[in-house]
Amino acid sequence: MVMDGHLEQTDLQEYVKVVLGSGYEVKRVSRLHGGAQKVVYKINCTNGFTCMLYVWDLSQNYFEADILHEHEGLHAQLYGSEPFKRSYEEMRRLGIRTPILYGLNQERTKYSYDYALVEYVDGYPTEAYMKHPDTRVQDKVFQRLGEVLYRMHGQDRKAFGLPGIDGESENECHLLLVDNAKVQLSYVIEHHEMIRKVHNKLLELLMEMAANIQLRRRYGWIHGELGPDHVLVNKALEPILIDIEGAQYFDIEHEHSFLQLRFGEHYRYLTTDRLDPVRMQFYWFHHHISLTSGGLKLLHRGFPDRSFAQQLTAYHANRLLQFV
């Protein structure tokens, strides 16, 4: 039983029994790879039950430096078990399906990180249904996901941010991403010569797009990074959202611009007539900046799937250059 330096075997077994009951004995633990923000293990018990263990170990987060950076407070707010807990509670309140949280340990008495036992979903990412041979199955999956998003994005609130934060913010949410885009561009130009040459032009475009956005105090509940890999589909063809730490009340155009990038032709199931085209352009631009920077950081920080990181960087850098 390998835990990669996280919970000791006896501590894991004790925690499983405390949360699930004395009849649950750990048989096998396997680490799942691919995530960049937290460590995930699959736990098989001797009675046939399976669950997941989430570990928010900042030292194994590929964006640790960004979370700790004093100018990137937005990232810090959306990292860790507390945003996960708040987002989970809001998802449950709204009736949005996400893996059930069995138990969350935030004590940090023996370990320096939080961890949780979470439902194991026996299913596949929505990527598996994009080319499903049965169009009726494909229609059902993506129509259901569209209904989930319609319910989420229709939750109007006058203040943006995480659940539990009351009152209106003095700023507008897109201004946070103006600052973030500047930080991300400063990283990109250190490592990408072509973008370095047009840095000033990109900054001018960023400020021009932001200046064209009209005041609006209406924010919907968004996932924040909703690609096909963050939606699991169970055997009943129900969409289940995972990796929800970044969920918050925000401009829904932030989500829809990302959905367009990630779902391609299947976005037709997810679209809405509530979108502001000026905001959409701004968030597309921000995504290309952020994902170029993110891809470079994964390459520089030892992310195991280098091919993915290289493709991510190249695609969004090229899309960014098209703006100029």
312: pLDDT confidence band, cut at 50, 70 and 90? Answer: very high
**pLDDT of amino acid 60:** 63
Neighbours of 68 (CB within 10 A): 13
Calculate the alpha carbon distances from 127 to 131, 141, 253 in Å.
Answer: 8, 11, 22
- The Cα 73–Cα 69 span in angstroms is 7
Q: Residue 232 pLDDT more than 60?
A: yes
Domains of the chain, by residue range, sit at: 9-120, 124-322
Q: In what order do the strands lie in the sheet with 123-125?
A: 123-125, 231-234, 239-241
Of the candidates 17, 25, 11, 269, which has an alpha carbon nearest to the alpha carbon of residue 143? 269
Looking from the CA of 223 toward its CB, the CA atoms found within 13 Å total 25
Q: Residue 68 pLDDT more than 50?
A: no
Looking from the CA of 151 toward its CB, the CA atoms found within 13 Å total 13
Instruction: Give residues with Cβ within 8 angstroms of 285, minimum separation 6.
Output: 181, 205, 206, 209, 320, 323
At 312, give phi and psi (nearest 5°): -60, -50
Compute the average pLDDT of residues 172-201.
94
**pLDDT of amino acid 217:** 85
Neighbours of 241 (CB within 10 A): 21
Q: pLDDT, tens digit, for every residue of 83-141?
A: 899 999 999 999 999 999 999 999 989 998 999 999 999 999 999 999 899 999 999 99
Q: pLDDT, tens digit, for every residue of 26-39?
A: 999 999 875 657 89
Compute the average pLDDT of residues 6-16.
93
Q: Residue 263 pLDDT more than 90?
A: yes
Q: pLDDT, tens digit, for every residue of 140-151?
A: 999 999 999 999
- The Cα 23–Cα 26 span in angstroms is 10
Q: Residue 2 pLDDT more than 60?
A: no
**pLDDT of amino acid 237:** 96
Residue 152 forms beta bridges with which residues?
none
Instruction: Give residues with Cβ within 8 angstroms of 51, minimum separation 6.
Output: 20, 43, 45, 102, 117, 118, 119, 120
Please state the length of the chain: 324
**pLDDT of amino acid 169:** 61
Compute the average pLDDT of residues 206-226.
95
- The Cα 158–Cα 250 span in angstroms is 10
Looking from the CA of 136 toward its CB, the CA atoms found within 13 Å total 0
Mean predicted lDDT score pLDDT of the chain: 90
Which class for 13: exposed (0-12), middle (13-18), buried (19 or more C-beta within 10 A)? Answer: middle
At 26, give phi and psi (nearest 5°): -70, 130
**pLDDT of amino acid 80:** 78
End-to-end CA distance of the chain: 53
Q: Residue 73 pLDDT more than 50?
A: no
Model pTM score = 0.90
Question: Which CATH architecture best describes the domain 124-322?
Answer: Alpha-Beta Complex (3.90)
User: Which of residues 73 and 313 earns the better pLDDT score?
Assistant: 313
Q: pLDDT, tens digit, for every residue of 234-254?
A: 999 999 999 999 999 999 999
43: pLDDT confidence band, cut at 50, 70 and 90? Answer: very high
Fold topology of 9-120:
Phosphorylase Kinase; domain 1 (3.30.200)
Q: Residue 298 pLDDT more than 70?
A: yes
Q: Residue 201 pLDDT more than 80?
A: yes
